[in-house]
Amino acid sequence: MTEATALTRNQSLVHNTLRQADGPLSAYTILDRLRDDGFRAPLQVYRALDKLTSLGLVHRLESLNAFVACAGEHRHGENELIAFAICERCGQVEEFADPVVCERLEAWAGDNAFHADKTTIEIRGKCAVCRAA
Amino acid sequence: MTEATALTRNQSLVHNTLRQADGPLSAYTILDRLRDDGFRAPLQVYRALDKLTSLGLVHRLESLNAFVACAGEHRHGENELIAFAICERCGQVEEFADPVVCERLEAWAGDNAFHADKTTIEIRGKCAVCRAA
DNA sequence: GACATTACGTAATAACATTACGTTCGATTG
DNA sequence: CAATCGAACGTAATGTTATTACGTAATGTC
Ligand SMILES: [Zn+2]
Ligand SMILES: [Zn+2]
Ligand SMILES: [Zn+2]
Ligand SMILES: [Zn+2]
């Protein structure tokens, strides 16, 4: 396996920024947080994000145009179908994989001769904590 | 019924533009196509799109930042869970609703005390026609 | 008619993402 | 070792998507 893929400095900085964040961050927010580390341009962030997402260390949330560090149990880099539950109030993101959902979507694809490259499942709403509050 | 909701001129223009399109359009593409009809600013498009999506006549594709006229059988305006299969090659979008997927996601929400407001399911890939070609 | 609501027009700006071009760094290999 | 190749980087400019702000006009209700 390509287990110990060493990240570059920029990639590590972006990854750590996301891990320390308490929710998804936009590329420009990451940029701002890394000014002191020498980041000057969006492309520095986007390039690192591209690499990190391809490694499965970071996920892009399409409905938010933002990025979050992987917090799931799933194997990185695999073509696993992951769903995200995003709290609109506190920003917390939960990752989960549902085999039945996965299977049903694959079945639809099979029935319709559709070849799926990437599937996005994002649930926007309010988490348990915020509902109680 | 939902049928008789009279759309305004701007809303109708945007809706017709999307219906005549052979795939998803960005707000700015719609704007360009409606220049001759007097559209001058993005907000004219976005306001119409907001209304049309709230009526269920148009869907926003989050992973594309684009909009498509509803082509499904589902009832407009309901909180139904719809999945989109988007061909990266030809741009065709298929809508479908899978009760099992819906049920499983609802079950997850129930188990986690999460209140879902809006759920996005988008499959990017290649459609049957484009695979054959 | 007074009032609330919804939609509209316009301008400016904010937020998100990519293209282009040249350089630097590290690994491979002859 | 140095030639070479590919990944990553720096910087600037530009392109794309979406919103804020402010005022006006049309429409429905009482
Ligand atoms: Zn993950
Ligand atoms: Zn919350
Ligand atoms: Zn639809
Ligand atoms: Zn196709």
Phi/psi for B13 (5° steps) reads: -60, -45
Residue among A69, A81, A72, A74 nearest A116 (CA): A81
Report yes or no: A10 and A48 within 8 Å, Cβ to Cβ: yes
- Structural domain contains residue B4: no
> Which ligand places an atom closest to the C-alpha of A53?
1
- Structural domain contains residue A31: yes
Nearest to B120 among A87, A116, A120 (CB): A120
For residues A3-29, give the mean pLDDT. 92
**Contacts with A104 from chain B: Cβ below 8 Å:** 98, 100-101, 104
**pLDDT digit string, tens, across residues B15-51:** 999 999 999 999 999 999 999 999 999 999 999 999 9
* Rounded alpha-carbon distances, angstroms, from residue B18 to B4, B15, B26, B63, B115: 19, 5, 10, 18, 31
Angle of helix A99-111 versus helix B99-111 axis, rounded to 10: 160
What is the C-alpha separation between A18 and B40, in angstroms, rounded? 39
CA A16 centroid distance within chain: 14
> For residue B106, with 0-12 CB atoms within 10 Å meaning exposed, 13-18 middle and 19 or more buried, which class applies?
middle
Please state the pTM of the whole predicted model.
Answer: 0.93
Domain that holds residue B41: 9-132
pLDDT at B49: 98
pLDDT at B77: 58
Q: Is the pLDDT of residue A17 over 80?
A: yes
For residues A13-41, give the mean pLDDT. 97
- Structural domain contains residue B3: no
Q: How many domains does chain A have?
A: 1
Please tell me the distance between residue B95's alpha carbon and the centre of ligand 3 in angstroms. 6
Report yes or no: B83 and A101 within 8 Å, Cβ to Cβ: no
- Structural domain contains residue A101: yes
B41 CA, D6 C1': separation in Å?
Answer: 45
Residue given tokens 């926007």 in the structure block:
A124
| Angle, CA of B126, B131 and B133, to the nearest 5° | 130
Phi/psi for A114 (5° steps) reads: -100, 135
Using a CB cutoff of 5 Å, list residues around ligand 1, an ion. Answer: A 70, 72, 95
- The residue type of A35 is R
pLDDT at B3: 40
B93: domain CATH number is: 1.10.10.10
pLDDT at B75: 73
Residue given tokens 């499942």 in the structure block:
A121
Q: Is the pLDDT of residue A5 over 90?
A: no
pLDDT at A76: 65
Are A120 and B121 in contact (CB < 8 Å)? Answer: yes
Please tell me the distance between residue A15's alpha carbon and the centre of ligand 3 in angstroms. 37
Report yes or no: B7 and B15 within 8 Å, Cβ to Cβ: yes
- Structural domain contains residue A3: no
- Structural domain contains residue B36: yes
pLDDT at B78: 60
> Which ligand places an atom closest to the C-alpha of B92?
4
Instruction: Going residue by residue through chain B, which has 133 residues, state the pLDDT in tens, using 9 for 90 and above.
Output: 334 468 999 999 999 999 999 999 999 999 999 999 999 999 999 999 999 999 999 999 999 999 999 998 877 656 679 999 999 999 999 999 999 999 999 999 999 999 999 999 999 999 999 999 8
Residue among A64, A72, A48 nearest A120 (CA): A64
CA B110 centroid distance within chain: 26
Are B85 and A94 in contact (CB < 8 Å)? Answer: no
- Structural domain contains residue A2: no
- Structural domain contains residue B1: no
**CB-side neighbour CA atoms (13 Å) of B85:** 23
Phi/psi for A67 (5° steps) reads: -130, 150
For residues A51-79, give the mean pLDDT. 89
> For residue B18, with 0-12 CB atoms within 10 Å meaning exposed, 13-18 middle and 19 or more buried, which class applies?
buried
pLDDT at A3: 43
Kindly report the average pLDDT of chain A as a whole number.
93
Protein CB footprint (7 Å) on chain C nucleotides: 7-12, 15-20
Strand partners of residue B123: A119, B85
DSSP A36: G
